[in-house]
Amino acid sequence: MQEAGAGMEKGRESILLERIRRLFFELNRHSFLGEIPEPEFGLSRRLRLSGYVQFGRRRPRMVLSVPYHDRFGWDGELEGTLKHEMVHLLLHARNRPFGHTREFRRLCRQIGGRDYSQALPRPFRYVYECPRCRRTFRYRRRVKLACAACTRDRIWPCVLRLKVWLSPKPPGRMPPRAVAADSLF
């Protein structure tokens, strides 16, 4: 069972899963001497990390992020992600702590993997503007703040006003309004 979005073509999904499976067996044979049992493989369109391993099932499940690998490249990042997740699987198979421990980092270095991945950028949803100096500020959440540069010399704060709401309207909420200064303090 794959957690792929409805928009992902079945052909691409099966090609990616087969590529992941082949690379897993190759890495298992060369870097881990075949010690790691085969997990279930899955793809996720919503995952913002490079991948994860889910334990507590009959057999572990390795899920990889499609948006992450589309952004950073399947060729370069896939092997690094698989090595990282395979170290988790190896430690779990050996009944060792399988988190990001010292042993985990040591094993990652030994096989030429890395113990971290690049971060997918998160989009800014709100752009605020200071009404006095016209500087803009980007935030991921709605905020009620004042411009520090303009407020420093004044008694009353120079409250930021919402300029642009970059995300689509969330269900059941009214569009945001400019923040009134008296609601802040």
For 163, the token pair is 């300029």
Instruction: Compute the distance between CA of residue 63 and CA of residue 43 in angstroms, rounded to an integer.
Output: 5
Tally of helices (H runs) and strands (E runs) in the chain: 5, 6
The per-residue DSSP string of 105-129 comes to: HHHHHHHT--S--PPPPPPP-EEEE
DSSP string, 39-85: PEEEEESS--SSEEEE-SSSS-EEEEEHHHHHHH-HHHHHHHHHHHH
Please tell me the distance from the alpha carbon of residue 89 to that of residue 36, in angstroms, as a whole number. Answer: 7
Tokens at 16, concatenated:
């990616």
pTM for the structure as a whole: 0.66
d(CA 58, CA 142) in angstroms, rounded, equals 43
CATH 3.30.2010.10 location in the chain: 10-111
Helices 10-31, 74-93: inter-axial angle, 10-degree rounding: 60
DSSP assigned state of 96: S
The mean pLDDT value for 21-25 works out to 94
List the one residue out of 140, 168, 166, 164 whose CA is nearest residue 48.
140
pLDDT digits (tens, 9 = 90+) for 101-112: 999 999 999 988
Tokens of 104: 């985990």
Tell me the average pLDDT of the chain.
80
CATH of domain 10-111: 3.30.2010.10
pLDDT tens per residue, range 137-184: 888 888 888 888 787 776 667 777 777 766 554 444 444 444 444 444
C-alpha atoms less than 13 angstroms from C-alpha of 132 in its C-beta half-sphere: 14
> DSSP letter at 37?
P
